[in-house]
Structure 1
Amino acid sequence: MVTSPMDDELVSFFSRLSESFGPSGFESEPINLIKERYSIFSESSIRDGLGSLIFKKSGETEGPKVMAAGHVDEIGFIIVSIEDNGFLKFETLGGWASTTLPAQRVIVRTKRGDHVGVITSKPPHLMTPEERNKPIEIKDLFIDVGAKNKDQVKEMGIRIGDPVAPLAPFEVLRGGKAWLGKAFDDRVGTLVVMEVLRNLKEGGVNHPNTYYAVATVQEEVGLRGAETAADVVNPDVFIAVDVDIAGDSPGITSAEAPAKMGEGVSIITWDRSMIPNFKLREFVIEVAEEENIPYQLSAVRGGTDAGRVHLHSKGVPSVVLGIPTRHIHSHSSILSPDDVEATMKLLLALIRKMDSKVVRGFQEL
């Protein structure tokens, strides 16, 4: 039985995971949280050369290798220049829209400790009418850490190459019916993958395969961790668990984002990085219906770790499960824990049913 995301202990852990510092390339903090909590449910753990964390759980028979992954990196920034006036120029790590950034707080992580700053630009009072009516470009933004000159910044220990992450607390909304926070993309997917590992072990669940629960790194900068993790596992089938864009926010049409928050797990039928294996996709839908798990069919314009893993070696049948999430790629996202639970239940059911015959069928004519 899948532990409900309403469980206080689980919500508390996810709060720490969400708030942890881990832009692409700097994921040690969330990776360590995952390892500390979930290593006891695995018979072995491996770190690949990029830093992705791979747990292995053997079933009742050796069976196929089923790999499921969520990525722990979050979109962030990296310092590229310290100006004479003490302001910091940055480049993005991952896809940011400049409209979401002004007046947002961030953490600058240095070798000597963390510093809080704020992303800002020219004050609107001093902008010309043309400037006010034009979207601010990222190149015109900077981080203010309260310094007056470059020497003060150096005294703080801030250097070119230091990473920056959003500063945004995790909150429970509507009496537990919604979660608000940063880095849901894709630490909530990682939570699902790892909670299934825990349920397999604690529940003594029989599964006719070897389950690999993976926390990948550097997804937001090109799906890099997925490629190296797949080289380690060499999977027979792959399931990416990631967020899906919830299309129930103002200004979004169902053609742009068909999934809605609170209406179940998304089964992604197409994205720009991968067309899922058709037989695997239909198998996922059938299992969801057999298990009475609420689901929605979706198509998205982004990409996931499956975009790399499905091209591994001779090709790997792959599919994506999504958790509909509002306001992704910003400081603060919102999702429904009911959708998290539905995703956990579906992934667990898939692991229970994926024997050698089923997996071979994904490639048969």
Structure 2
Amino acid sequence: MEVNEALLTRLTQANGIAGNEKAIREIFKDETKDVAEEFVIDGLGSIYGKHTGNPDGPRVLMAGHMDEVGFMVSQITDKGFIKFVPIGGWWTQVVLAQQVTITTSEGKTFHGVTGSKPPHVLNAEARKKPVEMDDIFIDLGAASKDEVLSWGIKPGDMITPYIETRRLNDSPFLLGKAWDNRIGVAVAIELLKNAAESGHETVLYSGATVQEEVGLRGAKTSAHLIKPDLAIALDTGIPGDTPGMTAKESDNALGKGPQIMIFDRSMISHKGLREFVIEVAESENIPHQFAFTPGGGTDAGSFHQALDGIPSLAITIPVRYLHTHTSIIHEDDFINTVKLVTAILKRLNHESLQTILANN
């Protein structure tokens, strides 16, 4: 499989925080319009391409999430600076001195940079402490509040990190914003194409949810709408291959394959589904890793609690520097994740579903 870098660039450079995922939804539709039988969209905006291999087969939901972490305009000061609220989880140390994009409700974009009071004027004790989010602002180069308002910027407008997606020094490592979770959306796109090409024994809904970063919200509405027999969240996870990380925190690494999530803050993975996925990975010789993330969660956390309880699991791609402007993936992990979910789909049928359910 060749990596479609144009698709990954298109997805990561699109701007879309929770509640503002339209641009990514349109990319998904454009990329899959030739293979999806229809698009199923819930009331919040989560989207799925449906493909039927066997109309009497199990209903299978596989989904990334479209939203990225970002900010929202909350106030414009008299001197034209922007105050904001975080949308999704941010660590203040990675917010300072970064470039951002503000997108108005009309779709106009404005470039800015985050700033704060300089350390030169702080006392020694204050310099030891992280800057509070409330003390960070955005500088657009505006002279006044009236000037900012004349541009059409107002409270509620979306703010996203700004960075150009690129391959790092001719390596297999890809740098960009929003790998969490546009890489999961890319997996869902490739899965739908593979399903149409090679066939399967399910009714597949492959797509992406909204508002994962603010409480797994789109997963709730999607599960209610689709009513799948099983669900797999396609998301991102924590590697432990950078300086200072310990094996206890994570023994995973970029380039070593997709992570099969065993346990996280939002769920314990369904045992029968987990064993099924592991068996598929082993029999197909697909590199894979096991992940435990007590400090994070995925849409599977909402999928598994929906309706009468949906057997669910998260398959994640390790990403360095999650929830920052500058995250990194390894292209082999993307390739092997697509291989894994495609192999899983090929083996799913009524018989394998019953085995999964019986082994919980």
TM-score range (shorter-chain normalised) is over 0.9
Q: Does 1:253 align with 2:246?
A: yes
Alignment of 1:88-99 (within 5 A): 88-99=82-93
Q: Give the match for residue 143 of structure 2.
A: 148
Match among 99, 105, 118 for residue 105 of structure 1 = 99
Q: Name the aligned partner's letter for residue 2 of structure 2.
A: S
Q: Give the match for residue 324 of structure 1.
A: 318
State how far apart, in whole Å, the 2-side matches of 1:209 and 1:16 are. Answer: 30
Q: Name the aligned partner's letter for residue 94 of structure 1.
A: G
Q: Give the match for residue 17 of structure 2.
A: 23
Q: Is the Cα contact below 8 Å between 2:18 and 2:69 reproduced in 1?
A: yes
State how far apart, in whole Å, the 2-side matches of 1:299 and 1:342 are. Answer: 20
Q: Cα deviation per residue 1:79-133 (whole Å; 9 max; x = unaligned)?
A: 1111112111100000000000111011111135111111110012222212211
Q: Secondary structure at the match of 1:45?
A: strand
State how far apart, in whole Å, the 1-side matches of 2:358 and 2:285 are. Answer: 27
Match among 2, 23, 26 for residue 4 of structure 1 = 2
Match among 222, 225, 228 for residue 232 of structure 1 = 225
Q: Is the Cα contact below 8 Å between 1:244 and 1:259 reproduced in 2?
A: no
Q: Give the match for residue 288 of structure 2.
A: 295
State how far apart, in whole Å, the 2-side matches of 1:319 and 1:271 are. Answer: 11
| Higher mean displacement: 244-253 or 337-346 | 244-253
Q: Name the aligned partner's letter for residue 132 of structure 2.
A: E
State how far apart, in whole Å, the 1-side matches of 2:78 and 2:245 are. Answer: 43
Q: Does 1:336 align with 2:334?
A: no
Q: Give the match for residue 181 of structure 2.
A: 186
State how far apart, in whole Å, the 2-side matches of 1:206 and 1:194 are. Answer: 15
State how far apart, in whole Å, the 2-side matches of 1:319 and 1:342 are. Answer: 17
Q: Does 1:43 align with 2:37?
A: yes
State how far apart, in whole Å, the 2-side matches of 1:61 and 1:223 are. Answer: 29
Q: Name the aligned partner's letter for residue 327 of structure 2.
A: S
Deviation of 1:61 after TM superposition, in Å, equals 5.0
Q: Give the match for residue 173 of structure 1.
A: 168
Q: Name the aligned partner's letter for residue 56 of structure 1.
A: K
Q: Give the match for residue 200 of structure 2.
A: 207
Q: Give the match for residue 286 of structure 1.
A: 279
Q: Which 4+ runs in 1 deviate beyond 3 A?
A: none
Structure 1 unaligned residues grouped into runs of 5+: none
Q: Is the Cα contact below 8 Å between 2:304 and 2:310 reproduced in 1?
A: yes
Q: Give the match for residue 81 of structure 1.
A: 75
Deviation of 1:258 after TM superposition, in Å, equals 2.2
Q: Is the Cα contact below 8 Å between 2:223 and 2:307 reproduced in 1?
A: no
Q: Name the aligned partner's letter for residue 17 of structure 2.
A: P
Q: Cα deviation per residue 1:276-322 (whole Å; 9 max; x = unaligned)?
A: 11111011111101000001111112000001010111001111111
Q: Is the Cα contact below 8 Å between 1:43 and 1:56 reproduced in 2?
A: yes
Q: Is the Cα contact below 8 Å between 2:262 and 2:268 reproduced in 1?
A: yes
Q: Give the match for residue 255 of structure 2.
A: 262
Q: Give the match for residue 123 of structure 1.
A: 118
Q: Percent sequence identity over matched residues?
A: 42
Q: Is the Cα contact below 8 Å between 1:258 and 1:299 reproduced in 2?
A: no
Count matched residues.
357
Q: Is the Cα contact below 8 Å between 1:186 and 1:243 reproduced in 2?
A: yes
**Normalised TM-score (structure 2):** 0.97
State how far apart, in whole Å, the 2-side matches of 1:174 and 1:282 are. Answer: 38
Q: Name the aligned partner's letter for residue 24 of structure 2.
A: P
Q: Secondary structure at the match of 1:289?
A: helix
**Normalised TM-score (structure 1):** 0.95
Q: Is the Cα contact below 8 Å between 1:79 and 1:163 reproduced in 2?
A: yes
Q: Is the Cα contact below 8 Å between 2:256 and 2:289 reproduced in 1?
A: yes
Deviation of 1:271 after TM superposition, in Å, equals 0.5
Q: Cα deviation per residue 1:22-48 (whole Å; 9 max; x = unaligned)?
A: 011111111111111112111111221
| Higher mean displacement: 108-117 or 92-101 | 108-117
State how far apart, in whole Å, the 2-side matches of 1:57 and 1:176 are. Answer: 35
Q: Secondary structure at the match of 1:40?
A: coil
Q: Name the aligned partner's letter for residue 225 of structure 1.
A: G
| Higher mean displacement: 168-177 or 289-298 | 168-177
Q: Secondary structure at the match of 2:234?
A: strand
State how far apart, in whole Å, the 2-side matches of 1:173 and 1:199 are. Answer: 28
Q: Is the Cα contact below 8 Å between 1:226 and 1:308 reproduced in 2?
A: yes
Q: Is the Cα contact below 8 Å between 1:65 and 1:210 reproduced in 2?
A: yes
Q: Give the match for residue 221 of structure 1.
A: 214
Structure 2 unaligned residues grouped into runs of 5+: none
CA RMSD of aligned residues (A): 1.2
Q: Is the Cα contact below 8 Å between 2:7 and 2:186 reproduced in 1?
A: no
